[in-house]
Amino acid sequence: LIVEDEVRLADMLRRLLHRSGYTTDVCHDGAAGLDNALSGIYDLLVLDVMLPKMDGLTLLRTLRAQGSTVPVLLLTAKSELQDRVAGLDSGADYYLTKPFEGEELLACVRALTRRQPELHDPDILTCGDLELNRSTFQLTCGGRSLHLSRKEFDMMELLMRNCGLVLTKESLLLKLWGYESDAEDNNVEVYISFLRRKLSHLHSRVRIKTLRMVGYCLEVGT
């Protein structure tokens, strides 16, 4: 989630992150930013300090007071030394001083979105007879292997990380397409059907089960 009132900078950030494969939402004021951030669907907040309606530090403190542990990358102006200190004290994980290089921002984003240490976050995710390679986007079952598109991969990864747990259609939609997209429930159904076709092609015993009116979960067959 990008919370930045300078429209051109927000747009530059959005395009930069998009090119690196991230899905983003953009808010141009602090109140909307807090509202979105509290949804809990984001993996990272890129947060400006000086914002209309609610400043970034108030947003951050409110978010932390509500128990959110989402990583926060603060964007500050050069003159705002006290803001940087206050920002870290308020629960920011890191800050970048404007102007910054795109490469530097991407490195911060990569560092802050590493969910767990490498040791616990292996390249290969497994569930039942399935293996998902997070580097090559290959889905493997026994001797058979298929390549997944980016969206298929993101969806499969979410399902496998939550193997046996139900994911609602809405949470899949928000996680994979973000708030601001025009994607509808229908998109989720379409990608679920792509994945089902691939699972059947792989002769996997893992199935994507539909719970009517609730969502989807991976079921490991015997």
Residues that bind Ca ion (CB under 5 A): 5, 48, 50
Least distance (Å) from Ca ion to the CB of residue 101? Answer: 19
CA distance 77 to 96: 9
CB closer to Ca ion out of 46 and 188: 46
Please give the structure tokens belonging to residue 60.
């951050």
Structure tokens at 34: 């807090």
Min separation Cβ 191 and Ca ion, Å: 36
Report the SS3 class of residue 214.
coil
Shortest distance (Å) from residue 37 CB to Ca ion: 16
Question: Are residues 27 and 1 in contact, defined by beta-carbon separation less than 8 angstroms?
Answer: yes
Nearer to Ca ion, 46 or 141 (CB): 46
25 vs 48 by CB, closer to Ca ion: 48
Q: Which is nearer to Ca ion, 50 or 220 (CB)?
A: 50
Among residues 98, 189, 208, 204, which one has the least CA distance to residue 151? Answer: 189
Residue 83 or 154: the one with the smaller Cβ distance to Ca ion is 83
CB burial readout 139-160, b (16+ within 10 A) else e: bbbeeeeeebeebbbbbbebbb
Shortest distance, position 70 Cβ to Ca ion, whole Å = 20
Which of 48/154 has CB closer to Ca ion?
A: 48
User: Does the N-terminal peptide bond of residue 99 adopt cis geometry, omega within 30 degrees of 0?
Assistant: yes
Are the C-beta atoms of residues 159 and 218 closer than 8 Å to each other? Answer: yes
Q: Which two tokens stand for residue 157?
A: 């990864």
Residue nearest to Ca ion (CB): 50
User: Least distance in Å: CB of 193 to Ca ion?
Assistant: 43
Ramachandran class of 185: left when φ > 0, alpha when ψ lies in -120 to 50, beta otherwise? alpha
Least separation in angstroms between residue 188's CB and Ca ion is: 35
Q: Alpha helices, DSSP H only, in 50-149?
A: 56-65, 81-89, 102-113
